[in-house]
Amino acid sequence: MSTKTYDPTPAKRVAFLGLGVMGYPMAGHLAGAGHRVTVYNRSPARAAQWVAEHGHTSAATPREAAAGADIVFACVGNDADLRSVVLGDQGAFQGMKPGAVFVDHTTASAEVARELGTAAQVLGLQFIDAPVSGGNLGAINGALTVMCGGDAAAFETIRPGAMAFSKAVTLLGASGAGQLAKMVNQIAIAGLVQGLAEAIAFGEKAGLDMKAVLGVIGKGAAQSWQMDNRGPTMVDDSFDFGFAVDWMRKDLGLVLDEAKRNGARLPVTALVDQFYADVQAQGGHRLDTSSLMKRLR
């Protein structure tokens, strides 16, 4: 866990649903910031492990975890997982007190964000869709970027708490805007990583010392986070850096579905999605997204 310094904010009673590679450290930062945290995870053993490490409490259901909380955070796998922890008799919405805010950090569809935003309003609750960028290391280091959609007053309520695990938390519009912004993020990353992979493959075929080349061109217009952080590891054929190909394909599926609805033309994104399918076919499901390099060697 990082030694991040937290801004002094009033402690709140919060819940965190989903203790995967992102949610586990995010919930830990909330505990470190002084909030009273109740966690829920589909696998109770994972929740017990978190409590053993951080203290606080766990709950057997999302409804129980959410009871009495001022803010309920969640980070689960997909739309179906999100609905399973929010809706139904044991869902978080049934346990939340009037006026409480549900903050969804799952990368999900804009459609489900709007659906749950409406459902929350009917129940006298508030909902913020808040997907994150920064991967597992960003979660561990408390340096995520959070893209939010929803009501401005609800956003101001949750922003101080979300800063416990973030370097930036920004409201970008109404319900669904956060998810749409995350799609923009993934479109940009997909094309950039493929371009970087092709550049490295070309340089290697040409007999260049690619670490030296990246060191030079990384000081000019070609510079990017991906080049600085993943370029050298791509040269080393090392692809164990967090955000998995399976997750990226899930995200790009959301992007391409949304593009069908809004009419956006995404030829490069669609092509890179198929390149990631090739990596999966090679057994690279859990490799990180820079493993596009493997197709070119």
CB of 59 within 8 A of CB of 79? no
Q: Give the CA distances from residue 272 to residues 35, 53, 57, 190, 257, in Å, rounded to whole numbers and listed in that order.
A: 41, 40, 43, 6, 15
Q: How far apart are the C-alpha atoms of 297 and 294, rounded to whole Å?
A: 6
Q: How does pLDDT run along the chain (297 residues), one tens digit per residue?
A: 444 544 545 669 999 999 999 999 999 999 999 999 999 999 999 999 999 999 999 999 999 999 999 999 999 999 999 999 999 999 999 999 999 999 999 999 999 999 999 999 999 999 999 999 998 889 999 999 999 999 999 999 999 999 999 999 999 999 999 999 999 999 999 999 999 999 999 999 999 999 999 999 999 999 999 999 999 999 999 999 878 999 999 999 999 999 999 999 999 999 999 999 999 999 999 999 999 999 998
Domains delineated in the chain: 13-174 (3.40.50.720), 180-296 (1.10.1040.10)
Active site (annotated) includes residue 12: no
As a three-state string, the secondary structure of 42-87 is: CCHHHHHHHHHHHCCEECCCHHHHHCCCCEEEECCCCHHHHHHHHC
Find the catalytic residue in 97, 182, 205, 260: 182
Nearest Cα residue to 258 out of 182, 163, 198, 150: 182
Sheet order of strands, 144-148 included:
132-133, 144-148, 166-171
Cross-strand bridge partners of residue 171: 148
Q: What is the DSSP string of 176-189?
A: THHHHHHHHHHHHH
